[in-house]
Structure 1
Amino acid sequence: MLSYIVRRLVVSVFILLGASFIVYLLIAYSGDPLAEIRSSNSPGKDAQIAARTELLNLNVPPVLRYFIWLGGASKCLIGQCDLGQTLQGQPVTAALGTAIPATLQLLAAATILAIVFGVAIGVVTALRQYSTLDYAVTFISFLFFSLPVFWVAVLLKQYGAIGFNNFLATATIPPGVIVVLSLLSGLVWAVILSGTWRRRSITFATAAAATALVLIFLSATEWFTTPSLGIIVIAVTGVAMAYGTTVLFAGLRNRRALYSALITVGIGVVLYYPLQPLLENVSFWGLVGLLVVALAVAWAVGYFMGGYDRTQSIRASMLTAFGVSLLIVIDQFMQNWQSYANNPLVRGRPIATIGSEIPGLNGDFWISGLDIFTHLILPTVSIILISLASYTRYSRASMLEVMGQDYVRTARAKGLSERVVVTRHAFRNALIPLATIVAFDIGGLIGGAVITENVFSYQGMGQLFLTGIKNVDPNPVMGVAIVTGITAVVFNLLADLAYSALDPRVRVKA
């Protein structure tokens, strides 16, 4: 294994060298970085040309100039990176130090959510092949996959930010909108819950009526201006999570696992009010500490409840604890929503259309978190919508292929439940080709983030890359390219190693 990793890393170094050489020459020959200065009538034009020539080594041929850049970049191996300077005189390492966290913050959330929801939807549609749900998801997937990223981003700015901010001025839902949303909700649930036409009609009517009542309540109470979940919603959702995690990882026949998850929900509900004063002044690491304590308590509950498979009880309890903790945190963010929206710098329009933060906004952990969230939501959703389609299609195709294999039929013939057949035999093997797709798409997501960041004026690697292209400045472009290349190489190596973890038949050999 170690020799394999070393061999792959050595090959990756040569790949990065070749790619960086090609990219550098493409940038160097793409234009004249002195064109803007030459066309100006500034009295100090000659001095500016001389300064920029010295800064970018323009008196050296591009091929030799690349090796000068490579000499500085090689110092990263000893912790003294020198990737040159931008035309504004800023070190590229400093610019990347600001841009990389912003881009990673955007891509991490979008990638994780796209993978989780895409794989889940793909598996469900594969299990219900040729159903109405399958056809609907297939149509929507191809629709999202064909949409340009920039067009989706512009639509989200218009309706997700400007339209929603205008709605918050009154926070009342018109009757016509309630009717349309209720009918759509009923239709969606009727498609999701299969069965006879009589069952689907009952589902449609029930879901539509429930949605209408909820929307009327939210409109009458102006919930959108002072949102919160409250202990009742947290308790009901927590119980649903307990049953869901038990069904997926243990089965309802394992009553000990179900009781462990339900006890965890009860502990979270009981501690809801005592935790409120503590959460008001909590920091990020304090919140992480509370989460660790919650998971430890859940582990103890699952361990002492035991059952014929203690591991299942622990898993169901800890997953439920994580879900309930997340609900409590979301509720706390909602309680601070009004304070954030009424801030003079926000001016009652909380959903941002540009930028990554509001300059000069001072606030506690919750206010700062809301500021980050409101700036991330639109670019994150735009990336998710495009990525979700591909993950849904790939996971569906992979699951369908696996479900027809001999070992799946053998598992069913042995009398195993459908849950065990799907989760333990089929799903794990269906993830093998998805590991390759995820690793391959990381670089594509960064490329998509360039367009998304430009539309939303999000100050990340995309903006740094486009500024370098526009100014014919190779140093920042090379900085972004080398970070992207290293990321792609690392994730492809992780994908190879994931094969052996997912499939015992695959072993990495030297």
Structure 2
Amino acid sequence: MFSYVMRRLGVSLLVLLGASFLVYMLVAVSGDPLAEFRESTKANKDQLIAQRVELLHLDVPAPVRYFIWLGGAVKCVIPGQCDLGSTLAGQPVTTALSTAIPSTLQLVTGATLIAIVVGVAVGIVTALRQYSALDYTVTFVAFLFFSLPVFWVAVLLKEFGAIRFNDFLAHPVISGTAIAAVGVVSALVWPLLLGGSWRRRGITALVAGAVGAGVLYYLGVSEWFLYPGLGPVLVALTGAGIAIGITALLAGLQNRQALYASLTTVVLALIAMYALAPLLEQATLWLIVLLGLAAIGAGVLAGYLFGGYDRRQSMKAAGLTSFLVAGLVLLDRFMQSWPAYVVATRGRPIATIGSQTPNLNGDFWTSGLDFFTHLVLPTTALVLISVASYTRYSRASMLEVMGQDYVRTARAKGLSERVVVTRHAFRNALIPLATVVAFDIGQLLGGAVITENVFSFKGMGALFVTGLTRQDPNPVMGTFLIVGITAVTFNLLADLAYSALDPRVRVKA
């Protein structure tokens, strides 16, 4: 294994060297860095040209300039010695990257996690219901999103997800047409999701349409959009649904101890919702992290105490349920700060540009809302594009696995469908997805260049575009170096993940 990793690292290093040389040469011939000075009428024109020539080493050929840059980049293996040059403004590239990387990571990490979870879940469900109306609908929608250009999706989100939605929040009056439309959409969507006989689908359509229209009507009458919140009733009902769903997925509803343990964590969350209210008023990030860990620990402890014939199943189901329900409590507390945040943003809470609201003064909850509202649109744009590929790959992989002999053998032994899908099929279906995830990390970083430009998000994308526009090779090469190392690293991790997901795979030196 060690020799294999070393060999892969050596090959990856050669790929990075070749690619970086090619990119540097392309940037070097893409324009004239001295163009802005050649036609200048300033008295110090010659001095400015000399400074630019010295800064970018323009007095030597481009290949030589590349090796000068490479000599500084090699020093990055030594802490504190990294030298990637300076931008035309005189700022060290390492300093520019230190401020740009966190913004891009926030955007790409959230988009990647959401796309993986949603795409894999939807792909597996459609595979299990192959050739159904749900399968055909998801296939059509997936190909539709996959074919959309990310810049066009971003512009549409700015128009309808921010500008018009902010206008609606100024006077949140829901028309009868909108209520009827939501009812019709609910009546069409839920029968697709639940399936069953035509009689069952008809009943589901009637109930879903009535509930969807009724909920939207209630939200409008109660002014929920101005003063949102979940409240204990909705937290309890949603938490109970989560407990039942997680237990059915991980342990099966026949494991009553796991179900009781999961439902107990919902009760504990409702108690903590009020008991910790004074503490949450002075919340910090580390306090929320500690409370999250405490919620997981309480769930695991509840599963251990309830025990059952498989204590590990009870602990996993209760721990995950506790974590998700704690997220509901956290969401409710954020919603309580929404009116103050709307006032702080002058009635325009959904941002269209930037990563934060200038001069915003607020507590942890207001700052958190500002963080999420600035991320919601660019993250959604990236998710809509990438979730389609995960859906299609996970569906194809699951269909292939479900037809294997060991799956039929598992069914022949009398195992439940839940056990067959989760323990035998799902893990093997993840093996091809490991490659897709590794490839998509680099693709998302590339897509973030366009998305950040549309939303004026000051990340690596903005740094890259500015460097190209001004014929400034150093920030371009710094961004490329980060993206290249990330792509190479995740591809190596994908290869190593094969042996972890499938014991039959062995890496030989």
The correspondence of residues 424-443 of structure 1 with structure 2, limited to 5 A, is 424-443=423-442
Q: Which amino acid aligns with 1:138?
A: T
Q: Which amino acid aligns with 2:337?
A: N
Partner of 1:386: 385
Partner Cα distance (1:298, 1:393) in 2:
34
User: Which has the higher mean CA deviation after the structures are superposed, 310-319 or 3-12?
Assistant: 3-12
Q: What are the superposed Cα offsets for residues 167-220 of structure 1, whole Å, 9 maximum, x if unpaired?
A: 001112111111011110111001111122221111111001001111111001
Q: What are the superposed Cα offsets for residues 403-461 of structure 1, whole Å, 9 maximum, x if unpaired?
A: 00111001000100000000000110000000000001111111111110111111000
Instruction: Using the TM superposition, give the Cα deviation of residue 354 of structure 1 relative to its aligned residue in structure 2, in angstroms.
Output: 0.5
Q: What are the superposed Cα offsets for residues 141-175 of structure 1, whole Å, 9 maximum, x if unpaired?
A: 01001111011000000000001000001112111
Q: Which amino acid aligns with 2:468?
A: I
Q: What are the superposed Cα offsets for residues 455-509 of structure 1, whole Å, 9 maximum, x if unpaired?
A: 1111000000000000111000000000000000110111011101110101222
The correspondence of residues 210-249 of structure 1 with structure 2, limited to 5 A, is 210-249=211-250
Q: Which amino acid aligns with 1:66?
A: Y
Q: Which amino acid aligns with 1:38?
A: R
**Are residue 331 (structure 1) and residue 332 (structure 2) matched?**
yes
Partner Cα distance (2:37, 2:422) in 1:
63
Q: Which amino acid aligns with 1:506?
A: V
Instruction: Using the TM superposition, give the Cα deviation of residue 362 of structure 1 relative to its aligned residue in structure 2, in angstroms.
Output: 1.7
User: The residue matched to 1:287 in structure 2 has which SS?
Assistant: helix
Instruction: Using the TM superposition, give the Cα deviation of residue 136 of structure 1 relative to its aligned residue in structure 2, in angstroms.
Output: 0.3
The correspondence of residues 68-147 of structure 1 with structure 2, limited to 5 A, is 68-79=68-79, 80-147=81-148
**Are residue 370 (structure 1) and residue 374 (structure 2) matched?**
no
Structure 2: which 5+ residue stretches go unaligned?
Answer: none
Partner Cα distance (1:2, 1:501) in 2:
15
User: Which has the higher mean CA deviation after the structures are superposed, 115-124 or 189-198?
Assistant: 189-198
Partner of 2:46: 46
Q: Which amino acid aligns with 2:473?
A: P
User: Which has the higher mean CA deviation after the structures are superposed, 70-79 or 118-127?
Assistant: 70-79
User: The residue matched to 2:223 in structure 1 has which SS?
Assistant: coil
Partner of 2:400: 401
Q: What are the superposed Cα offsets for residues 46-96 of structure 1, whole Å, 9 maximum, x if unpaired?
A: 111111111000001110111110111111111111000000111000000
Partner Cα distance (1:96, 1:234) in 2:
41
User: The residue matched to 1:59 in structure 2 has which SS?
Assistant: coil
Q: Which amino acid aligns with 1:118?
A: G
Instruction: Using the TM superposition, give the Cα deviation of residue 3 of structure 1 relative to its aligned residue in structure 2, in angstroms.
Output: 2.3
Instruction: Using the TM superposition, give the Cα deviation of residue 299 of structure 1 relative to its aligned residue in structure 2, in angstroms.
Output: 1.1
Partner of 2:287: 286
Partner Cα distance (1:454, 1:78) in 2:
33
Partner Cα distance (2:132, 2:45) in 1:
70
Q: Which amino acid aligns with 2:441?
A: I
Partner of 1:199: 200
User: The residue matched to 1:370 in structure 2 has which SS?
Assistant: helix
Q: Which amino acid aligns with 1:15?
A: V
Partner of 1:152: 153
Partner of 1:8: 8
TM-score, scaled relative to structure 1: 0.99
Instruction: Using the TM superposition, give the Cα deviation of residue 43 of structure 1 relative to its aligned residue in structure 2, in angstroms.
Output: 2.0
Aligned pairs, number: 508
Q: What are the superposed Cα offsets for residues 264-283 of structure 1, whole Å, 9 maximum, x if unpaired?
A: 11111122111111111110
Partner of 2:444: 445
Q: What are the superposed Cα offsets for residues 319-373 of structure 1, whole Å, 9 maximum, x if unpaired?
A: 0001011001111110001101101xx1110000011111211211111111111
Partner of 2:493: 494
Partner Cα distance (2:199, 2:219) in 1:
30
Partner of 1:63: 63
Q: What are the superposed Cα offsets for residues 255-314 of structure 1, whole Å, 9 maximum, x if unpaired?
A: 111111011111111221111111111100011011111111111111111111111000
Partner of 2:278: 277
Partner Cα distance (1:139, 1:202) in 2:
26
User: The residue matched to 1:260 in structure 2 has which SS?
Assistant: helix
Partner of 1:306: 307
Structure 1: which 5+ residue stretches go unaligned?
Answer: none
Identical amino acids, percent of aligned pairs: 65
User: The residue matched to 1:87 in structure 2 has which SS?
Assistant: coil
**Are residue 264 (structure 1) and residue 251 (structure 2) matched?**
no
Partner of 1:459: 458
Partner Cα distance (1:309, 1:4) in 2:
39
User: The residue matched to 2:89 in structure 1 has which SS?
Assistant: coil
Partner Cα distance (1:183, 1:276) in 2:
39
User: The residue matched to 1:504 in structure 2 has which SS?
Assistant: coil
Partner Cα distance (1:223, 1:40) in 2:
59
Partner Cα distance (1:43, 1:457) in 2:
35
Partner Cα distance (1:155, 1:82) in 2:
40
User: Which has the higher mean CA deviation after the structures are superposed, 73-82 or 2-11?
Assistant: 2-11
Partner of 1:475: 474
Q: Which amino acid aligns with 1:7?
A: R
Q: Which amino acid aligns with 1:193?
A: L
Partner of 1:503: 502
Partner Cα distance (2:320, 2:249) in 1:
11
Partner Cα distance (1:487, 1:468) in 2:
20
User: The residue matched to 1:271 in structure 2 has which SS?
Assistant: helix
Partner Cα distance (2:38, 2:365) in 1:
50
Instruction: Using the TM superposition, give the Cα deviation of residue 40 of structure 1 relative to its aligned residue in structure 2, in angstroms.
Output: 2.2
Q: Which amino acid aligns with 1:380?
A: T
User: The residue matched to 2:276 in structure 1 has which SS?
Assistant: helix
Q: Which amino acid aligns with 1:268?
A: A
Q: What are the superposed Cα offsets for residues 207-264 of structure 1, whole Å, 9 maximum, x if unpaired?
A: 0100111111100111011111111111111111111111111001111111110111
Q: Which amino acid aligns with 1:121?
A: V
Q: Quote the RMSD (CA, aligned, Å).
A: 0.8
User: The residue matched to 1:293 in structure 2 has which SS?
Assistant: helix
Q: Which amino acid aligns with 2:10?
A: V
Instruction: Using the TM superposition, give the Cα deviation of residue 18 of structure 1 relative to its aligned residue in structure 2, in angstroms.
Output: 1.1
Q: Which amino acid aligns with 1:149?
A: V
Q: Which amino acid aligns with 1:333?
A: F
Instruction: Using the TM superposition, give the Cα deviation of residue 39 of structure 1 relative to its aligned residue in structure 2, in angstroms.
Output: 2.2
Partner of 2:20: 20
Partner Cα distance (1:95, 1:457) in 2:
16
User: The residue matched to 2:50 in structure 1 has which SS?
Assistant: helix
Q: Which amino acid aligns with 1:298?
A: G
Q: Which amino acid aligns with 1:160?
A: G
Q: Which amino acid aligns with 1:406?
A: D
User: Which has the higher mean CA deviation after the structures are superposed, 392-401 or 187-196?
Assistant: 187-196
